[in-house]
Structure 1
Amino acid sequence: MMRAEDVLAVLDLLDRAGVEVWLDGGWGVDALLGEQTRPHEDLDIVVRAESLAHHGRTMGDHGFRPLRTEHRLVLVDDAGRKVDVHTVDLGATRTDERGVRVHGPGGLPCPVGSLNGSGRVRGRRVGCVTPEYQIASHTGYALGEDDERDVLALHHRFGVPLAARVRAWHEEEGWGVLDAANLREDVWAHFSAVAGEDYVEPAVGQAVTFSVEESAREGYRRRAVTVWPEGAEREGAATDGAAPSPATSR
């Protein structure tokens, strides 16, 4: 288990070694929120690719050893403190298949701007990935309860829209269902929530982003407060750090 004091201890030793890091994962979410919301089994950090060797030596000098390295580097010490290490290549950028500028080619394909987040762990300011990138990262796999809780906390705190596709739309009844990429359940939507200067009936399969609240409707636990069809402008929406792109169903 990684406690807040363990997080700060790891950050201290890396800071003394001159290794720049950004918090990701569960601790990255809680840093953005400014408080610890749940226990964390490990600490996810992002390290520059060119600093990885120096980072490894520094961690090794302080008792951390590799746990597994087949797909990613995980370090653990005798106290059971676990650090999940991701790399990013800030020396170059490229355009991915979605047309998004990302760092690379070595390391995580983090969108440009996604490392601009700032948070706090026990009052100490720390660098972390942005709320937009956190939410975009919570898709494409079977989300657990903690994942969904993190997504909703960031969504409500920072106003980051969630991604979905229209699963069903009942034109004659004026409501439909969104297949949310970042949540575990579908979301109910009323025609009055659809944004845009001119109302256009949502089409099944259409990509949308939306805001959500807890409100039971037609057997669904949540309803969309506002739905932005693909291409519709969102007033006041965040633009930095990899806003989630619409996704297919999970």
Structure 2
Amino acid sequence: METGAAEVHAVLDALAGVGCPCWISGGWGVDALVGRQTRPHRDLDLAIDAAREADALRVLAERGYVVETDWRPVRVEVVASGLGRVDLHPVVFTDGDGRQAGLDGDWFDYPGVDLTTGLIAGRPVPCISARLQLAFHQGYEPRDVDVLDLRLLQELT
């Protein structure tokens, strides 16, 4: 099952409706920076304000999403039949910068300067920068889709 552009917009609208700031990362985040869809996407990766996580989960549940993978505080993935998957990454913000818990006690930093805007299906959307996307692609063996994403990100930097 793919998560399409229309569902990306619907999820963003639902989260905005409950005041939950979010930024797209992962494959859709790359495509937002490029300004066009470059490949199918299994899920929508979102960095969300950890203070609004309960609101995010509630509004997504209202859309039919149920928790499939719960690795909180690192991430929680929800899935809705016929709609797609959303992988939420709770980020704690202080003075405009954020920090997401990682596995084994490490963390990922989200500098405020790396929270930007891209385009999905012609609509401006919040996303993380190419620089930060490249940093998040380090430390693991890239899959085929990662290789494409990395090439596109390198062209942007």
TM-score range, shorter chain: 0.7 to 0.9
Corresponding position: 1:112 with 2:111: yes
- How far off its partner does 1:78 sit? 2.3
- Taking the TM superposition and a 5 Å limit, the aligned residue runs for 1:104-183 are 104=99, 109-113=108-112, 115-156=114-155, 158-159=156-157
Does the CA contact (< 8 Å) of 1:48 and 1:89 recur in 2?
yes
- For residue 106 of structure 1, report the CA deviation from its aligned partner: 5.6
Q: For the residues of structure 2 that align with 1:51 and 1:82, how far apart are their CA atoms?
A: 19
Higher relative contact order, chain-length normalized (CA < 8 Å, sep 6+): 2
Counterpart of 1:76 in structure 2 is 79
In structure 1, what residue type is equivalent to 2:79? V
Deviation of 1:109 after TM superposition, in Å, equals: 2.5
Please give the per-residue CA displacement for 1:30-72, whole angstroms capped at 9, x wherever unaligned: 0000000000000000100101011111111221110010352
Unpaired runs of 5+ in structure 1? 94-101, 160-250
Q: TM-score, normalised by structure 2?
A: 0.86
Partner residue, 1:89: 92
Tell me which of 91, 94, 103 is aligned to 2:98.
103
Query: Structure 1: which amino acid aligns with 2:17?
Result: R
The two structures have a TM-score, normalised by structure 1, of 0.56
The structure number with the bigger radius of gyration is: 1
- CA separation in 1, counterparts of 2:67 and 2:143? 26
In 2 relative to 1, CA 142–121 (structure 1 residues): closer, same or farther, beyond 3 Å?
A: same
Superposition map of 1:39-50 within 5 A:
39-50=40-51
Deviates more, 1:75-84 or 1:108-117: 108-117
Q: Distance in 2 between matches of 1:47 and 1:145?
A: 27
| Structure 2: distance between partners of 1:118 and 1:105 | 20
Structure 2 match to 1:193: none
The residue identity in structure 1 corresponding to 2:91 is V
Query: Which residue number corresponds to residue 60 of structure 2?
Result: 59
The Cα offsets for residues 179-200 of structure 1, whole Å up to 9 and x where unpaired, read as: xxxxxxxxxxxxxxxxxxxxxx
Please say if residues 114 and 132 of structure 1, whose CA atoms lie closer than 8 Å, have aligned partners that are also in contact.
no
CA distance in 2 between partners of 1:114 and 1:42 (Å): 25
The structure-2 alpha-carbon separation of the partners of 1:92 and 1:23, relative to structure 1 and needing over 3 Å to count, comes to: same
Sort the Cα spacing of 1:114 and 1:145 in 2 relative to 1 into closer, same or farther, 3 A: farther
* 1:25 paired residue number: 26
> Which structure 2 residue ranges, 5 or more long, are not aligned?
none
Structure-2 residue corresponding to 1:204: none
8 A contact 1:73–1:85 mirrored in 2: yes
Q: Quick one: percent identity of the two aligned structures?
A: 34
CA RMSD in angstroms, aligned pairs only: 2.0
Q: Secondary structure at the match of 2:77?
A: strand
Residue 146 of structure 1 aligns with an amino acid whose one-letter code is V
More helix by share: 2
